[in-house]
Structure 1
């Protein structure tokens, strides 16, 4: 649920104020149902849980409920976003959510977090190589370590590339003119 929580917080934050249907429509337009397994039910569940936790406040209007992010919600959003960029995971949903909301970070923060991700991936790659050489199990088990080694190397190559693109000025990031990463900076749709 962390990817869904991050995405829901990010959309509410981006619009400044949003209702469930707007959040769901936005996330489905991004394809989050495919890469983060976001479903309508998980969106509304996240809204209830985030409200209960004090990350969102709700305003019950006559026709719908609208949500706004709280100071606590901003802290939770930043924590989830930074972890999504910094920490490699075998499932792609958190990284996908982090990338979808990447402009909410300053350029320097994103570059620094990607540096931490790169170091972790290189360590995973090296550890998998060591395990491959030390493996005493059935011969075909080596394929598992080879997969981990190559996956970590591929992740490191991609991370290095994104970091270089950011260093070269690609994408508008938080604190820069026209950034879509500032709270309430997304255009209203209703």
Structure 2
């Protein structure tokens, strides 16, 4: 799953049209270069690739600079929503993907975001529970020169446990009405 694809599709989906510089500027304003490792060149590569795949279309504009504007297509909107749903429900180690998903979660209905985050909780519980027995065994690790290796298991367990606590907190905030979600803006119950 590509964080850059999700970010580019999300920014274009949120506007009528957007050109590469506008997308880059928007992502810079979110500090995405820090948490998603988005580079100038990767944005243009994604624009070209998504256009080639029919997920974006180049739009003729009256821009005197000669910049190409892009508009999301129905196929692109479908991929955006698929990537977004995957980013919110995955327990994988990619914080950049979750961060991108959080940036666009308001594009989905509240109930769906809660459901996706509950799936994430289930995956995190499994990840944490799978690591727990290894942590117990690792505490007795006595192989000379590698006594520090159990710290990895403790880190992984702690990360999964913390992510689970944070995700549960976000679910509670959403259930309490935090943030304005897609269905509350338009009255729709499913994303377009």
TM-score, length of structure 2 as denominator length: 0.88
Q: Which moved more, 1:117-126 or 1:106-115?
A: 117-126
Q: CA deviation at 1:91?
A: 2.6
Which sits farther off after the overlay, 71-80 or 59-68?
59-68
- Residue 161 of structure 2 is aligned to residue 141 of structure 1: no
Q: Is the 8 A contact 1:111 1:163 kept in 2?
A: yes
Q: Retained in 2: the 8 A contact 1:50–1:56?
A: yes
> Equivalents in 2 of 1:60, 1:16: separation in Å?
13
Q: Report the counterpart of residue 13 of structure 2 in structure 1.
A: 13
Distance 1:84 1:49 in 2: 20
SS for the counterpart of 1:177 is helix
* Number of positions where the alignment pairs a residue of Structure 1 with one of Structure 2: 181
Between the aligned partners of 2:172 and 2:67, the Cα distance in structure 1 is: 44
Determine which of 129, 146, 152 is the counterpart of 2:160.
Answer: 152
Q: Deviation at 1:142?
A: 1.4
Q: Give the deviation of 1:123 after TM superposition.
A: 1.1
2:4 counterpart of 1:4? yes
Deviation at 1:9, TM superposition (A): 0.2
Note the alpha carbon deviations across 1:82-130, whole angstroms, 9 max, x for none.
0100002223110110011110111001000000001111111111111
Higher relative contact order, structure no. (Cα contacts within 8 Å, ≥ 6 residues apart): 1
Match of 1:89 among 88, 92, 95: 92
- Match in the other structure for 2:106: 103
How far the C-alpha of 1:178 sits from its partner, in A, is 7.1
Q: Aligned partners of 1:66, 1:19: CA distance in 2, in Å?
A: 4
Pair 1:117-2:106 in alignment: no
Give me the whole-angstrom Cα distance separating, in 2, the residues matched to 1:16 and 1:130. 51
Counterpart mapping for 1:31-42 below 5 A:
31-42=31-42
1:172 and 1:178 in contact (8 A); partners too: no
Structure 2: distance between partners of 1:67 and 1:158:
36
Relative to the length of structure 1, the TM-score reads: 0.89
Structure 2 gap ranges (5+): none
Structure 1: stretches of 5+ with no match in the other structure: 184-190
